[in-house]
Structure 1
Amino acid sequence: MTAILDSTRAELLRLRRWPAVWITIGAWTALALTFGYVFDYVSYATGTESFATAGAARDALLTGLLPQAVPDVLVQGMPLFGGALAMVLGALVAGNGFAWGTWKTALTQGPGRLATVGGSLTALTIFVVVIVAATLTLFTAVSTGIALAEGESITWPTATDLARATGGGLLVLQMWALLGYTIAILARGPALAVGLGLVWALVVENLLRGVGSLLGAVEQLTLFLPGTAAGSLVGSLVDAGGTPGVLDVVPGDRAALTVAAYVVGLTALVLTVMRRRDLA
Protein backbone atom coordinates (compact mmCIF):
# COMPACT_ATOMS: atom_id res chain seq x y z
CA MET A 1 0.00 0.00 0.00
CA THR A 2 2.86 2.39 0.78
CA ALA A 3 4.39 1.65 -2.62
CA ILE A 4 1.08 2.43 -4.37
CA LEU A 5 0.74 5.70 -2.45
CA ASP A 6 4.30 6.71 -3.37
CA SER A 7 3.64 5.83 -7.01
CA THR A 8 0.40 7.81 -6.94
CA ARG A 9 2.12 10.90 -5.56
CA ALA A 10 4.82 10.66 -8.21
CA GLU A 11 2.26 10.29 -10.99
CA LEU A 12 0.19 13.19 -9.68
CA LEU A 13 3.31 15.35 -9.70
CA ARG A 14 3.98 14.40 -13.32
CA LEU A 15 0.40 15.08 -14.41
CA ARG A 16 0.17 18.40 -12.55
CA ARG A 17 3.21 19.72 -14.38
CA TRP A 18 2.22 18.45 -17.83
CA PRO A 19 0.60 21.15 -20.02
CA ALA A 20 -1.21 18.60 -22.22
CA VAL A 21 -3.27 17.47 -19.22
CA TRP A 22 -4.43 20.99 -18.41
CA ILE A 23 -5.14 21.75 -22.07
CA THR A 24 -7.39 18.68 -22.25
CA ILE A 25 -9.18 19.63 -19.03
CA GLY A 26 -9.50 23.21 -20.26
CA ALA A 27 -11.05 22.00 -23.52
CA TRP A 28 -13.68 20.04 -21.57
CA THR A 29 -14.44 23.03 -19.35
CA ALA A 30 -14.80 25.37 -22.32
CA LEU A 31 -17.04 22.98 -24.26
CA ALA A 32 -19.20 22.11 -21.24
CA LEU A 33 -19.66 25.77 -20.34
CA THR A 34 -20.39 26.80 -23.93
CA PHE A 35 -22.94 24.11 -24.69
CA GLY A 36 -24.35 24.02 -21.17
CA TYR A 37 -24.84 27.74 -20.56
CA VAL A 38 -23.47 30.18 -23.14
CA PHE A 39 -25.60 29.20 -26.14
CA ASP A 40 -28.78 28.89 -24.09
CA TYR A 41 -28.24 32.17 -22.25
CA VAL A 42 -27.47 34.09 -25.45
CA SER A 43 -30.63 32.68 -27.01
CA TYR A 44 -32.65 33.59 -23.92
CA ALA A 45 -31.20 37.11 -23.65
CA THR A 46 -31.53 37.95 -27.36
CA GLY A 47 -34.70 36.03 -28.13
CA THR A 48 -33.02 34.25 -31.06
CA GLU A 49 -32.67 30.55 -31.74
CA SER A 50 -29.49 28.59 -32.33
CA PHE A 51 -28.94 25.00 -33.42
CA ALA A 52 -28.80 24.09 -29.72
CA THR A 53 -32.03 25.85 -28.73
CA ALA A 54 -34.28 25.44 -31.77
CA GLY A 55 -37.91 25.05 -30.71
CA ALA A 56 -37.28 25.70 -27.01
CA ALA A 57 -39.56 28.11 -25.18
CA ARG A 58 -37.89 31.17 -23.63
CA ASP A 59 -39.07 30.30 -20.12
CA ALA A 60 -37.78 26.76 -20.52
CA LEU A 61 -34.38 28.09 -21.54
CA LEU A 62 -34.15 30.15 -18.37
CA THR A 63 -35.27 27.25 -16.19
CA GLY A 64 -32.46 25.12 -17.61
CA LEU A 65 -29.93 27.79 -16.65
CA LEU A 66 -30.89 28.07 -12.97
CA PRO A 67 -29.25 26.23 -10.04
CA GLN A 68 -31.93 23.53 -9.80
CA ALA A 69 -30.93 22.33 -13.29
CA VAL A 70 -27.23 21.93 -12.46
CA PRO A 71 -27.41 18.09 -12.22
CA ASP A 72 -28.81 17.89 -15.76
CA VAL A 73 -26.30 20.33 -17.22
CA LEU A 74 -23.43 18.62 -15.41
CA VAL A 75 -23.81 15.26 -17.16
CA GLN A 76 -25.53 15.96 -20.46
CA GLY A 77 -22.25 16.55 -22.32
CA MET A 78 -20.31 13.67 -20.77
CA PRO A 79 -21.36 10.77 -23.04
CA LEU A 80 -20.03 12.45 -26.20
CA PHE A 81 -17.37 15.17 -26.08
CA GLY A 82 -16.74 14.72 -22.35
CA GLY A 83 -16.10 11.03 -22.89
CA ALA A 84 -13.94 11.71 -25.94
CA LEU A 85 -11.72 14.13 -24.02
CA ALA A 86 -11.52 11.76 -21.03
CA MET A 87 -10.37 9.06 -23.46
CA VAL A 88 -7.70 11.42 -24.80
CA LEU A 89 -6.56 12.12 -21.25
CA GLY A 90 -6.30 8.42 -20.43
CA ALA A 91 -4.40 7.70 -23.65
CA LEU A 92 -1.93 10.50 -22.95
CA VAL A 93 -1.34 9.41 -19.36
CA ALA A 94 -0.52 5.81 -20.34
CA GLY A 95 0.85 6.21 -23.85
CA ASN A 96 3.52 8.79 -23.22
CA GLY A 97 5.10 6.48 -20.69
CA PHE A 98 6.17 4.35 -23.66
CA ALA A 99 7.10 7.27 -25.90
CA TRP A 100 9.34 8.82 -23.23
CA GLY A 101 10.66 5.54 -21.82
CA THR A 102 9.35 6.28 -18.33
CA TRP A 103 7.38 3.04 -18.11
CA LYS A 104 10.54 1.00 -18.61
CA THR A 105 12.42 2.99 -15.98
CA ALA A 106 9.60 2.93 -13.43
CA LEU A 107 8.78 -0.75 -13.88
CA THR A 108 12.38 -1.95 -13.73
CA GLN A 109 13.70 0.33 -10.98
CA GLY A 110 10.53 1.24 -9.11
CA PRO A 111 8.51 -0.50 -6.39
CA GLY A 112 7.12 -3.21 -8.68
CA ARG A 113 4.78 -3.48 -11.63
CA LEU A 114 1.47 -3.69 -9.81
CA ALA A 115 2.34 -0.82 -7.47
CA THR A 116 3.55 1.39 -10.33
CA VAL A 117 0.57 0.74 -12.58
CA GLY A 118 -1.82 0.92 -9.63
CA GLY A 119 -0.43 4.33 -8.71
CA SER A 120 -0.86 5.54 -12.28
CA LEU A 121 -4.47 4.33 -12.39
CA THR A 122 -5.18 5.91 -9.00
CA ALA A 123 -3.76 9.24 -10.17
CA LEU A 124 -5.93 9.11 -13.29
CA THR A 125 -8.99 8.42 -11.14
CA ILE A 126 -8.16 11.36 -8.88
CA PHE A 127 -7.99 13.63 -11.92
CA VAL A 128 -11.39 12.38 -13.09
CA VAL A 129 -12.85 13.14 -9.65
CA VAL A 130 -11.27 16.60 -9.70
CA ILE A 131 -12.67 17.29 -13.18
CA VAL A 132 -16.22 16.40 -12.11
CA ALA A 133 -15.94 18.34 -8.82
CA ALA A 134 -14.50 21.42 -10.53
CA THR A 135 -17.19 21.30 -13.23
CA LEU A 136 -19.92 21.03 -10.59
CA THR A 137 -18.47 24.00 -8.69
CA LEU A 138 -18.17 26.09 -11.85
CA PHE A 139 -21.70 25.30 -13.00
CA THR A 140 -23.13 26.09 -9.57
CA ALA A 141 -21.40 29.48 -9.61
CA VAL A 142 -22.49 30.29 -13.17
CA SER A 143 -26.12 29.24 -12.63
CA THR A 144 -26.28 31.23 -9.38
CA GLY A 145 -24.92 34.29 -11.18
CA ILE A 146 -27.55 33.93 -13.91
CA ALA A 147 -30.32 33.60 -11.32
CA LEU A 148 -29.16 36.75 -9.54
CA ALA A 149 -28.76 38.66 -12.81
CA GLU A 150 -32.28 37.73 -13.93
CA GLY A 151 -33.89 38.36 -10.54
CA GLU A 152 -34.95 34.72 -10.13
CA SER A 153 -35.25 32.98 -6.79
CA ILE A 154 -32.51 30.44 -6.13
CA THR A 155 -33.73 26.88 -5.69
CA TRP A 156 -31.06 24.27 -5.11
CA PRO A 157 -31.29 20.76 -6.56
CA THR A 158 -32.11 17.96 -4.16
CA ALA A 159 -29.23 16.04 -2.62
CA THR A 160 -30.49 12.88 -4.32
CA ASP A 161 -30.49 14.40 -7.81
CA LEU A 162 -27.07 15.92 -7.24
CA ALA A 163 -25.61 12.65 -5.94
CA ARG A 164 -27.06 10.63 -8.82
CA ALA A 165 -25.75 13.05 -11.43
CA THR A 166 -22.32 13.29 -9.83
CA GLY A 167 -22.01 9.53 -9.45
CA GLY A 168 -23.21 8.90 -12.99
CA GLY A 169 -20.80 11.49 -14.37
CA LEU A 170 -17.90 9.96 -12.48
CA LEU A 171 -18.72 6.49 -13.82
CA VAL A 172 -19.01 7.71 -17.41
CA LEU A 173 -15.80 9.74 -17.45
CA GLN A 174 -13.88 7.04 -15.59
CA MET A 175 -14.96 4.41 -18.13
CA TRP A 176 -13.87 6.54 -21.11
CA ALA A 177 -10.58 7.50 -19.42
CA LEU A 178 -9.81 3.84 -18.72
CA LEU A 179 -10.72 2.90 -22.29
CA GLY A 180 -8.17 5.40 -23.62
CA TYR A 181 -5.65 4.22 -21.04
CA THR A 182 -6.15 0.58 -22.04
CA ILE A 183 -5.83 1.23 -25.77
CA ALA A 184 -2.61 3.16 -25.13
CA ILE A 185 -1.21 0.27 -23.07
CA LEU A 186 -2.05 -2.22 -25.81
CA ALA A 187 -0.74 0.05 -28.60
CA ARG A 188 2.35 1.14 -26.62
CA GLY A 189 1.86 4.80 -27.49
CA PRO A 190 -0.59 7.72 -27.34
CA ALA A 191 -1.10 8.62 -31.02
CA LEU A 192 -2.77 5.42 -32.19
CA ALA A 193 -4.78 5.20 -28.97
CA VAL A 194 -6.15 8.75 -29.35
CA GLY A 195 -6.99 8.17 -33.02
CA LEU A 196 -8.68 4.82 -32.52
CA GLY A 197 -10.53 6.00 -29.44
CA LEU A 198 -11.97 9.09 -31.09
CA VAL A 199 -12.97 7.21 -34.27
CA TRP A 200 -14.70 4.59 -32.16
CA ALA A 201 -16.51 7.03 -29.87
CA LEU A 202 -17.56 9.55 -32.52
CA VAL A 203 -18.03 7.42 -35.65
CA VAL A 204 -18.06 3.63 -35.29
CA GLU A 205 -20.65 3.33 -32.52
CA ASN A 206 -23.05 5.68 -34.31
CA LEU A 207 -22.67 3.66 -37.51
CA LEU A 208 -23.29 0.40 -35.67
CA ARG A 209 -26.42 1.80 -34.03
CA GLY A 210 -27.62 2.90 -37.47
CA VAL A 211 -26.98 -0.54 -38.96
CA GLY A 212 -28.57 -2.15 -35.92
CA SER A 213 -31.99 -0.90 -37.00
CA LEU A 214 -31.66 -3.23 -40.01
CA LEU A 215 -29.78 -6.19 -38.53
CA GLY A 216 -31.04 -7.72 -35.30
CA ALA A 217 -27.70 -9.27 -34.32
CA VAL A 218 -25.90 -5.93 -34.65
CA GLU A 219 -28.64 -4.21 -32.68
CA GLN A 220 -28.14 -6.64 -29.79
CA LEU A 221 -24.40 -6.02 -29.92
CA THR A 222 -24.84 -2.26 -29.67
CA LEU A 223 -26.67 -2.64 -26.36
CA PHE A 224 -23.35 -3.56 -24.74
CA LEU A 225 -21.14 -0.92 -26.35
CA PRO A 226 -19.55 1.67 -24.03
CA GLY A 227 -21.13 4.64 -25.81
CA THR A 228 -24.59 3.10 -25.61
CA ALA A 229 -24.15 2.33 -21.92
CA ALA A 230 -22.81 5.81 -21.10
CA GLY A 231 -25.48 7.59 -23.15
CA SER A 232 -28.29 5.51 -21.66
CA LEU A 233 -27.00 6.04 -18.12
CA VAL A 234 -27.03 9.80 -18.62
CA GLY A 235 -30.37 9.55 -20.42
CA SER A 236 -31.86 7.92 -17.34
CA LEU A 237 -30.63 10.82 -15.17
CA VAL A 238 -31.61 13.85 -17.23
CA ASP A 239 -34.34 15.06 -19.52
CA ALA A 240 -32.13 16.11 -22.42
CA GLY A 241 -33.94 14.89 -25.50
CA GLY A 242 -32.00 15.57 -28.67
CA THR A 243 -28.68 16.15 -26.87
CA PRO A 244 -25.92 14.38 -28.85
CA GLY A 245 -24.77 11.22 -27.11
CA VAL A 246 -27.69 11.04 -24.67
CA LEU A 247 -29.75 7.89 -25.34
CA ASP A 248 -32.67 5.91 -23.94
CA VAL A 249 -31.75 2.55 -25.49
CA VAL A 250 -30.93 0.67 -22.27
CA PRO A 251 -32.66 1.00 -18.84
CA GLY A 252 -30.72 3.13 -16.40
CA ASP A 253 -29.88 0.38 -13.89
CA ARG A 254 -28.61 -1.93 -16.62
CA ALA A 255 -26.61 0.90 -18.18
CA ALA A 256 -24.99 1.68 -14.81
CA LEU A 257 -24.03 -1.97 -14.35
CA THR A 258 -22.56 -2.09 -17.86
CA VAL A 259 -20.47 1.04 -17.29
CA ALA A 260 -19.29 -0.31 -13.92
CA ALA A 261 -18.39 -3.62 -15.57
CA TYR A 262 -16.28 -1.76 -18.13
CA VAL A 263 -14.48 0.11 -15.34
CA VAL A 264 -13.65 -3.11 -13.47
CA GLY A 265 -12.84 -5.11 -16.60
CA LEU A 266 -10.56 -2.48 -18.14
CA THR A 267 -8.68 -2.05 -14.85
CA ALA A 268 -8.13 -5.80 -14.59
CA LEU A 269 -7.00 -5.96 -18.22
CA VAL A 270 -4.45 -3.18 -17.75
CA LEU A 271 -3.00 -4.77 -14.62
CA THR A 272 -2.77 -8.17 -16.32
CA VAL A 273 -1.14 -6.88 -19.48
CA MET A 274 1.40 -4.70 -17.67
CA ARG A 275 2.28 -7.50 -15.27
CA ARG A 276 3.17 -9.84 -18.15
CA ARG A 277 4.46 -7.35 -20.72
CA ASP A 278 8.00 -7.52 -22.06
CA LEU A 279 9.29 -3.95 -21.94
CA ALA A 280 12.33 -4.52 -24.15
Structure 2
Amino acid sequence: MWPSFAAESVKMVRRPGTWLLLAVAVVLSVVFTYLAPYAAYLDGSGGVLSDRTLDQMLPERLVGNSISGLPVFLGAICLILAVLTVGGEYAWGTWKTLLTSGPSRLAVYLGKLLVLAAATLVLVLVLFAVGAVSSALIAVTESQPLHWPTLGDLGVGIGAGWLIGMVWAGFGVLLAVLLRGVALPIGLGLVWLLAVQNLLAAVAAPILDWVAEMQKGLPGPNAGSLAAALGATADTPGIGAVVGAGQASVTLAGYLLGFILLAGVLLGRRDIL
Protein backbone atom coordinates (compact mmCIF):
# COMPACT_ATOMS: atom_id res chain seq x y z
CA MET A 1 0.00 0.00 0.00
CA TRP A 2 2.74 2.49 0.91
CA PRO A 3 4.58 2.18 -2.44
CA SER A 4 1.22 2.77 -4.11
CA PHE A 5 0.65 5.78 -1.87
CA ALA A 6 4.06 7.18 -2.79
CA ALA A 7 3.44 6.65 -6.50
CA GLU A 8 -0.04 8.21 -6.31
CA SER A 9 1.38 11.17 -4.40
CA VAL A 10 3.86 11.85 -7.20
CA LYS A 11 1.09 11.63 -9.78
CA MET A 12 -1.14 13.94 -7.74
CA VAL A 13 1.57 16.58 -7.31
CA ARG A 14 2.66 16.49 -10.94
CA ARG A 15 -0.86 16.61 -12.36
CA PRO A 16 -1.57 20.21 -13.48
CA GLY A 17 -5.26 19.73 -12.82
CA THR A 18 -4.55 19.31 -9.10
CA TRP A 19 -3.07 22.77 -8.80
CA LEU A 20 -5.75 24.27 -11.01
CA LEU A 21 -8.49 22.85 -8.78
CA LEU A 22 -6.71 24.18 -5.68
CA ALA A 23 -6.43 27.62 -7.27
CA VAL A 24 -10.12 27.60 -8.22
CA ALA A 25 -11.07 26.60 -4.67
CA VAL A 26 -8.98 29.43 -3.19
CA VAL A 27 -10.42 32.02 -5.57
CA LEU A 28 -14.00 30.90 -4.93
CA SER A 29 -13.49 30.95 -1.18
CA VAL A 30 -11.84 34.38 -1.04
CA VAL A 31 -14.12 36.09 -3.55
CA PHE A 32 -17.48 34.86 -2.29
CA THR A 33 -16.67 34.69 1.41
CA TYR A 34 -14.71 37.92 1.80
CA LEU A 35 -14.15 40.14 -1.26
CA ALA A 36 -17.70 40.29 -2.64
CA PRO A 37 -19.42 40.65 0.78
CA TYR A 38 -16.88 43.28 1.82
CA ALA A 39 -17.40 45.23 -1.39
CA ALA A 40 -21.18 45.06 -0.87
CA TYR A 41 -20.69 46.17 2.73
CA LEU A 42 -18.62 49.18 1.64
CA ASP A 43 -20.95 50.52 -1.03
CA GLY A 44 -24.24 49.39 0.52
CA SER A 45 -25.48 48.32 -2.89
CA GLY A 46 -28.05 45.91 -1.48
CA GLY A 47 -28.62 42.27 -2.26
CA VAL A 48 -27.91 39.10 -0.37
CA LEU A 49 -24.20 39.69 0.09
CA SER A 50 -24.69 43.14 1.63
CA ASP A 51 -26.76 41.54 4.39
CA ARG A 52 -23.56 40.23 5.88
CA THR A 53 -22.43 42.52 8.64
CA LEU A 54 -18.81 43.36 9.17
CA ASP A 55 -18.45 41.06 12.17
CA GLN A 56 -19.29 38.06 9.95
CA MET A 57 -16.07 38.66 8.01
CA LEU A 58 -13.76 39.07 10.99
CA PRO A 59 -11.25 36.49 12.31
CA GLU A 60 -13.59 35.25 15.05
CA ARG A 61 -15.82 33.77 12.31
CA LEU A 62 -12.91 31.99 10.62
CA VAL A 63 -14.15 28.44 11.22
CA GLY A 64 -17.62 28.90 9.77
CA ASN A 65 -16.42 30.98 6.84
CA SER A 66 -13.66 28.53 5.92
CA ILE A 67 -15.94 25.51 5.65
CA SER A 68 -19.05 27.24 4.32
CA GLY A 69 -18.28 26.39 0.69
CA LEU A 70 -17.61 22.69 1.22
CA PRO A 71 -21.23 21.44 1.27
CA VAL A 72 -21.69 22.58 -2.36
CA PHE A 73 -19.16 24.47 -4.48
CA LEU A 74 -15.88 23.49 -2.85
CA GLY A 75 -17.25 20.01 -2.33
CA ALA A 76 -17.52 19.84 -6.11
CA ILE A 77 -13.77 20.47 -6.27
CA CYS A 78 -13.17 17.46 -4.01
CA LEU A 79 -15.45 15.33 -6.17
CA ILE A 80 -13.66 16.32 -9.40
CA LEU A 81 -10.26 15.62 -7.85
CA ALA A 82 -11.41 12.16 -6.75
CA VAL A 83 -12.83 11.32 -10.17
CA LEU A 84 -9.59 12.38 -11.85
CA THR A 85 -7.56 10.27 -9.42
CA VAL A 86 -9.57 7.07 -9.86
CA GLY A 87 -11.51 7.49 -13.08
CA GLY A 88 -8.45 8.70 -14.95
CA GLU A 89 -7.06 5.18 -14.87
CA TYR A 90 -10.08 4.04 -16.90
CA ALA A 91 -9.99 6.99 -19.28
CA TRP A 92 -6.29 6.58 -20.01
CA GLY A 93 -6.38 2.78 -20.04
CA THR A 94 -3.68 2.51 -17.38
CA TRP A 95 -5.37 0.17 -14.89
CA LYS A 96 -3.98 -2.94 -16.61
CA THR A 97 -0.44 -1.52 -16.71
CA LEU A 98 -0.69 -0.39 -13.10
CA LEU A 99 -1.91 -3.72 -11.73
CA THR A 100 0.39 -5.95 -13.78
CA SER A 101 3.41 -4.11 -12.33
CA GLY A 102 2.97 -5.83 -8.97
CA PRO A 103 0.55 -4.27 -6.46
CA SER A 104 -2.88 -5.74 -5.84
CA ARG A 105 -6.10 -3.90 -6.55
CA LEU A 106 -6.64 -3.38 -2.83
CA ALA A 107 -3.18 -1.88 -2.35
CA VAL A 108 -3.64 0.49 -5.27
CA TYR A 109 -7.11 1.46 -4.10
CA LEU A 110 -5.97 2.15 -0.54
CA GLY A 111 -3.05 4.17 -1.88
CA LYS A 112 -5.43 6.32 -3.89
CA LEU A 113 -7.72 6.81 -0.88
CA LEU A 114 -4.81 7.89 1.32
CA VAL A 115 -3.65 10.38 -1.31
CA LEU A 116 -7.16 11.78 -1.62
CA ALA A 117 -7.41 12.07 2.16
CA ALA A 118 -4.11 13.96 2.27
CA ALA A 119 -5.09 16.20 -0.64
CA THR A 120 -8.46 17.00 0.93
CA LEU A 121 -6.80 17.86 4.23
CA VAL A 122 -4.34 20.15 2.42
CA LEU A 123 -7.26 21.85 0.66
CA VAL A 124 -9.05 22.47 3.98
CA LEU A 125 -5.87 23.80 5.60
CA VAL A 126 -5.29 26.15 2.65
CA LEU A 127 -8.88 27.41 2.93
CA PHE A 128 -8.32 28.17 6.61
CA ALA A 129 -5.00 29.89 5.84
CA VAL A 130 -6.37 32.17 3.12
CA GLY A 131 -9.43 32.84 5.25
CA ALA A 132 -7.23 33.88 8.15
CA VAL A 133 -5.26 36.29 5.97
CA SER A 134 -8.39 37.73 4.35
CA SER A 135 -10.26 38.24 7.61
CA ALA A 136 -7.19 39.76 9.27
CA LEU A 137 -6.77 42.26 6.42
CA ILE A 138 -10.44 43.28 6.70
CA ALA A 139 -10.14 43.64 10.48
CA VAL A 140 -7.00 45.79 10.21
CA THR A 141 -8.55 47.92 7.46
CA GLU A 142 -11.68 48.52 9.53
CA SER A 143 -9.73 49.00 12.79
CA GLN A 144 -11.40 46.00 14.39
CA PRO A 145 -9.83 43.79 17.10
CA LEU A 146 -8.28 40.50 16.04
CA HIS A 147 -10.19 37.88 18.03
CA TRP A 148 -9.24 34.42 16.77
CA PRO A 149 -11.03 31.11 17.43
CA THR A 150 -9.46 28.88 20.05
CA LEU A 151 -7.19 26.03 19.00
CA GLY A 152 -9.93 23.60 19.95
CA ASP A 153 -12.45 25.35 17.73
CA LEU A 154 -9.94 25.40 14.87
CA GLY A 155 -9.29 21.69 15.29
CA VAL A 156 -13.00 20.88 15.26
CA GLY A 157 -13.52 23.10 12.22
CA ILE A 158 -10.66 21.54 10.28
CA GLY A 159 -11.90 18.06 11.15
CA ALA A 160 -15.45 18.92 10.08
CA GLY A 161 -14.24 20.45 6.82
CA TRP A 162 -12.10 17.40 6.16
CA LEU A 163 -15.05 15.09 6.79
CA ILE A 164 -17.33 17.04 4.44
CA GLY A 165 -14.66 17.18 1.73
CA MET A 166 -13.94 13.47 2.06
CA VAL A 167 -17.63 12.57 1.73
CA TRP A 168 -17.75 14.28 -1.67
CA ALA A 169 -14.40 12.78 -2.62
CA GLY A 170 -15.76 9.35 -1.68
CA PHE A 171 -18.83 10.04 -3.81
CA GLY A 172 -16.52 10.88 -6.71
CA VAL A 173 -14.56 7.65 -6.20
CA LEU A 174 -17.76 5.61 -6.27
CA LEU A 175 -19.02 7.32 -9.44
CA ALA A 176 -15.64 6.85 -11.14
CA VAL A 177 -15.54 3.12 -10.37
CA LEU A 178 -19.22 2.60 -11.15
CA LEU A 179 -19.13 4.43 -14.50
CA ARG A 180 -15.49 3.62 -15.40
CA GLY A 181 -14.51 7.02 -16.68
CA VAL A 182 -14.10 10.72 -15.98
CA ALA A 183 -16.55 12.83 -17.98
CA LEU A 184 -19.82 11.14 -17.00
CA PRO A 185 -18.96 10.75 -13.28
CA ILE A 186 -17.99 14.42 -13.06
CA GLY A 187 -21.10 15.48 -14.93
CA LEU A 188 -23.49 13.43 -12.81
CA GLY A 189 -21.72 14.40 -9.61
CA LEU A 190 -21.93 18.10 -10.40
CA VAL A 191 -25.59 17.81 -11.38
CA TRP A 192 -26.33 16.31 -7.97
CA LEU A 193 -24.15 18.77 -6.04
CA LEU A 194 -25.07 21.98 -7.83
CA ALA A 195 -28.62 21.32 -8.98
CA VAL A 196 -30.55 18.39 -7.53
CA GLN A 197 -29.83 18.83 -3.83
CA ASN A 198 -30.39 22.60 -4.04
CA LEU A 199 -33.70 22.10 -5.85
CA LEU A 200 -34.79 19.60 -3.24
CA ALA A 201 -33.97 22.03 -0.44
CA ALA A 202 -35.31 25.24 -2.02
CA VAL A 203 -38.29 23.98 -4.05
CA ALA A 204 -39.50 20.55 -2.97
CA ALA A 205 -38.83 20.50 0.79
CA PRO A 206 -40.95 23.60 1.64
CA ILE A 207 -44.07 22.12 0.01
CA LEU A 208 -43.64 18.36 0.52
CA ASP A 209 -43.22 17.05 4.06
CA TRP A 210 -41.81 13.71 2.94
CA VAL A 211 -39.05 15.49 0.98
CA ALA A 212 -38.23 17.60 4.02
CA GLU A 213 -37.91 14.43 6.10
CA MET A 214 -35.91 12.66 3.40
CA GLN A 215 -33.40 15.50 3.38
CA LYS A 216 -32.37 14.62 6.90
CA GLY A 217 -30.76 11.46 5.55
CA LEU A 218 -29.01 12.94 2.51
CA PRO A 219 -25.30 13.89 2.52
CA GLY A 220 -25.74 17.46 1.26
CA PRO A 221 -28.17 18.70 3.94
CA ASN A 222 -26.14 16.95 6.63
CA ALA A 223 -22.96 18.64 5.37
CA GLY A 224 -24.78 21.98 5.40
CA SER A 225 -26.08 21.33 8.90
CA LEU A 226 -22.62 20.53 10.23
CA ALA A 227 -21.19 23.67 8.66
CA ALA A 228 -24.08 25.75 10.04
CA ALA A 229 -23.47 24.37 13.53
CA LEU A 230 -19.89 25.62 13.32
CA GLY A 231 -20.82 29.14 12.28
CA ALA A 232 -21.33 29.12 8.50
CA THR A 233 -23.82 31.81 7.49
CA ALA A 234 -27.25 30.73 6.27
CA ASP A 235 -27.05 32.89 3.12
CA THR A 236 -24.46 30.52 1.67
CA PRO A 237 -25.93 27.91 -0.73
CA GLY A 238 -26.27 24.52 0.93
CA ILE A 239 -26.05 25.84 4.50
CA GLY A 240 -28.97 25.16 6.81
CA ALA A 241 -29.63 23.56 10.19
CA VAL A 242 -31.70 20.60 8.98
CA VAL A 243 -30.31 18.31 11.70
CA GLY A 244 -28.01 18.67 14.69
CA ALA A 245 -24.24 18.61 14.50
CA GLY A 246 -23.98 15.17 16.11
CA GLN A 247 -26.41 13.50 13.75
CA ALA A 248 -24.81 15.26 10.80
CA SER A 249 -21.34 14.00 11.75
CA VAL A 250 -22.51 10.42 12.18
CA THR A 251 -24.49 10.47 8.94
CA LEU A 252 -21.58 11.91 6.95
CA ALA A 253 -19.18 9.35 8.41
CA GLY A 254 -21.61 6.61 7.41
CA TYR A 255 -21.84 7.92 3.87
CA LEU A 256 -18.05 8.15 3.59
CA LEU A 257 -17.61 4.59 4.80
CA GLY A 258 -20.37 3.35 2.51
CA PHE A 259 -18.98 5.12 -0.55
CA ILE A 260 -15.44 3.80 -0.17
CA LEU A 261 -16.52 0.26 0.76
CA LEU A 262 -18.92 -0.04 -2.16
CA ALA A 263 -16.36 1.38 -4.57
CA GLY A 264 -13.75 -1.04 -3.21
CA VAL A 265 -16.05 -4.03 -3.68
CA LEU A 266 -16.89 -2.99 -7.24
CA LEU A 267 -13.23 -2.42 -8.08
CA GLY A 268 -12.23 -5.78 -6.66
CA ARG A 269 -14.92 -7.88 -8.35
CA ARG A 270 -15.50 -6.25 -11.71
CA ASP A 271 -13.40 -6.32 -14.84
CA ILE A 272 -11.24 -3.22 -14.94
CA LEU A 273 -11.88 -2.66 -18.65
1:254 matched residue in structure 2: 247
Q: Deviations over 1:151-208 (max 9, x none)?
A: 3322211223222211111111110111011101110001000010011112222333
Note if contact 1:39-1:52 (Cα within 8 Å) is conserved in structure 2.
no
Given the superposition, is the C-alpha separation of residues 183 and 252 from structure 1 closer, same or farther in structure 2, using an over 3 Å criterion?
same
Q: What SS is found at the alignment partner of 1:54?
A: helix
Written as runs of structure 1 = structure 2, the 5 A alignment for 1:23-172 is: 23-44=20-41, 46-56=42-52, 60-61=53-54, 63-172=55-164
Cα RMSD, aligned residues only: 1.7
User: Which residue type is aligned with residue 24 of structure 1?
Assistant: L
Note if contact 2:48-2:235 (Cα within 8 Å) is conserved in structure 1.
no
Distance 1:13 1:269 in 2: 26
1:263 matched residue in structure 2: 256
Distance 1:55 1:147 in 2: 18
Distance 1:79 1:259 in 2: 11
Given the superposition, is the C-alpha separation of residues 239 and 7 from structure 1 closer, same or farther in structure 2, using an over 3 Å criterion?
closer
Please report the TM-score for the alignment, with normalisation by the length of structure 2.
0.93
Cα distance, 1:144 vs structure 2: 2.0
Please report the TM-score for the alignment, with normalisation by the length of structure 1.
0.91
Distance 2:254 2:109 in 1: 20
Query: Quick check: 1:231 aligned with 2:224?
Result: yes
2:169 matched residue in structure 1: 177
1:188 matched residue in structure 2: 180
* Aligned residue pairs, count: 272
| Shift >6 Å, 4+ stretches | none
User: Which residue type is aligned with residue 39 of structure 1?
Assistant: A
Q: What SS is found at the alignment partner of 2:194?
A: helix
Note if contact 1:66-1:154 (Cα within 8 Å) is conserved in structure 2.
yes
2:16 matched residue in structure 1: 19
Q: What SS is found at the alignment partner of 2:149?
A: coil
Most deviating of 46-55 and 28-37: 46-55
Most deviating of 166-175 and 218-227: 218-227
Cα distance, 1:239 vs structure 2: 4.9
Note if contact 2:232-2:239 (Cα within 8 Å) is conserved in structure 1.
no
Most deviating of 183-192 and 215-224: 215-224
Q: Percent identity?
A: 36
Unaligned 5+ residue runs, structure 1?
none
1:279 matched residue in structure 2: 272
Distance 2:242 2:176 in 1: 29
Distance 1:226 1:96 in 2: 25
Q: What SS is found at the alignment partner of 1:142?
A: helix
Written as runs of structure 1 = structure 2, the 5 A alignment for 1:208-219 is: 208-209=200-201, 210-219=203-212
